[in-house]
Amino acid sequence: MLSSHKMNNNRIAIIIVTFNSEKYISNCINAIQNNFSKKNLYEIIIIDNNSSDETVKIIKRIQAEHPSVKLIQNNKNLGFAKAVNLGIRLKKQSDYYLLINPDTIINGSSIINLIRCAIKSDSGIVGGTTYDSNKAQSGSFFRFPNLWVGLFDFTNLRKFDRTDYWHKYFYYLDRDSSNRACFPVDVVTGGFMLITKKTIKKNGYFDEKFFMYLEDVDFCLRAKKIGIKVSHCNDAKTFHFGGGSSNNKDRIRHSAWLFSRKLYYLKNFNLLTNILIQPVFLLDDVYILLNKLFMK
């Protein structure tokens, strides 16, 4: 539990964005609460993006017993970036903001380890290790994508790269960092990201033009450009169960990804790079659409 005097004085806002998360939200909240003692100054801020299942009812039942849980209900799906920004603006006085996905269970000492890593490394953004349901590490930290990552990892051209070099490059799979407790990286996932108040003041909020996907990469890139350190903490762990998506949820995610990859390159790369990559993205969109039609 967070128990030291220094940690007790930190105000921590845990921000969870939910969308049809009824299967996971109770376990997610319980695991977060197990990280804290009664002395800690923390609140769990849940931003619900117009769930159509029992998510909101479950959260309201939890609220009745735990006043540290706050709920904001949106009347439509605002996407991840905009929902997170709502939570941050609501708790402007917090010292730390922890973003965590609802379909995760965080290990009991992870939050204090994230904060210790942030303090020790003087980092404004820190992420932890995410494991899937098979206890295998999944994408927790990344390099900034370049032209080749965009071409050979973000599109179906990846199928033609037998070495999968650019996928490995993007996910840091070309190096072993398992023996390092806290180390610098380019990007940590927005599904398990600790942000300091100072970082929000200097770097601003997430770019709300990203509905979902790559908003975390964009946020970390902006931070790096102004000298804010980004680190990964191996001693902070969460288990990501995922799954349970409806067809509608899958459709939203897929269309959001196709849009976000175009937006990221338009925003962060020069004209020549976009002249090269945007037509490939469009052709890939057509390929995916045709593939779906013929697969029916």
Structure token digits, residue 22: 């009824």
**Per-residue model confidence (pLDDT) at position 238:** 95
- Cα-based distances in Å from 209 to 67, 83, 238, 279: 33, 12, 28, 21
CA distance 187 to 218: 9
- Mean pLDDT score, 201-218: 97
What pTM did the predictor assign?
A: 0.92
**Which is it for strands 230-240 and 182-184: parallel, antiparallel or unpaired?**
antiparallel
- Mean pLDDT score, 182-187: 97
Structure token digits, residue 206: 């997430």
**Mean pLDDT rounded to a whole number for the chain:** 92
The stretches of 164-270 forming alpha helices (DSSP H) are 165-170, 197-203, 215-225, 247-268
**Per-residue model confidence (pLDDT) at position 9:** 76
Question: Three-state DSSP class for 244?
Answer: coil
**Per-residue model confidence (pLDDT) at position 110:** 95
Residue of 189, 231, 193, 239 lying closest to 214 (CA atoms): 189
pLDDT at 3 over 60: no
- Mean pLDDT score, 229-241: 94
pLDDT at 5 over 50: no
User: Per DSSP, which regions of the chain are E strands?
Assistant: 11-18, 41-48, 69-73, 96-100, 104-106, 125-131, 141-142, 182-184, 187-188, 192-196, 230-240
**Per-residue model confidence (pLDDT) at position 38:** 65
**Per-residue model confidence (pLDDT) at position 249:** 61
**Per-residue model confidence (pLDDT) at position 291:** 84
Residue of 35, 276, 60 lying closest to 150 (CA atoms): 276
Structural domains in the chain plus CATH codes: 5-145+172-243 (3.90.550.10)
Structure token digits, residue 110: 């992870």
